């Protein structure tokens, strides 16, 4: 089992949606990420959700941007799990 799969399995629906967004877009400026997560993915408080994902090691925070951790992106079990969770809530993520 991948290093991050257990962490990802404990994420809230909003956290999984945000992670799916970064699986698709890799690295995004913070203002755009906040706006798109709110409007396209239904995340109520993107700043809090992204901070939680950074604290869990799934994202990194740069100067004015967020980037998915490459180890997470390379973990096929994590990608498949996120895909299933997003389909479970009726959201197409890729």
- Residues of the chain with pLDDT > 70, as a percent, come to 91
Q: How far is CA 61 from CA 54, 77, 90, 94, in A?
A: 7, 24, 29, 23
**Measured distance between the N- and C-terminal CA atoms of the chain, rounded to whole angstroms:** 23
pLDDT digits (tens, 9 = 90+) for 29-70: 999 999 999 998 899 999 999 999 999 999 999 999 999 999
68: nearest Cα among 35, 19, 29: 19
CATH number of 5-84: 1.10.10.10
The average pLDDT across 14-25 equals 96
């Amino acid at each position: 089992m991948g290093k991050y799969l257990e962490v990802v399995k404990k994420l809230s629906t909003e956290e999984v949606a945000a992670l799916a967004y970064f699986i698709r877009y890799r690295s995004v400026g913070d203002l755009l990420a906040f706006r798109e997560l709110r409007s396209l993915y239904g995340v109520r408080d993107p700043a809090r959700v992204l901070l939680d994902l950074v604290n869990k090691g799934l994202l990194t925070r740069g100067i004015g941007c967020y980037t998915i951790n490459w180890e997470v992106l390379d973990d096929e079990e994590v990608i498949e799990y996120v895909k299933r969770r997003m389909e479970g809530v009726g959201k197409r993520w890729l």
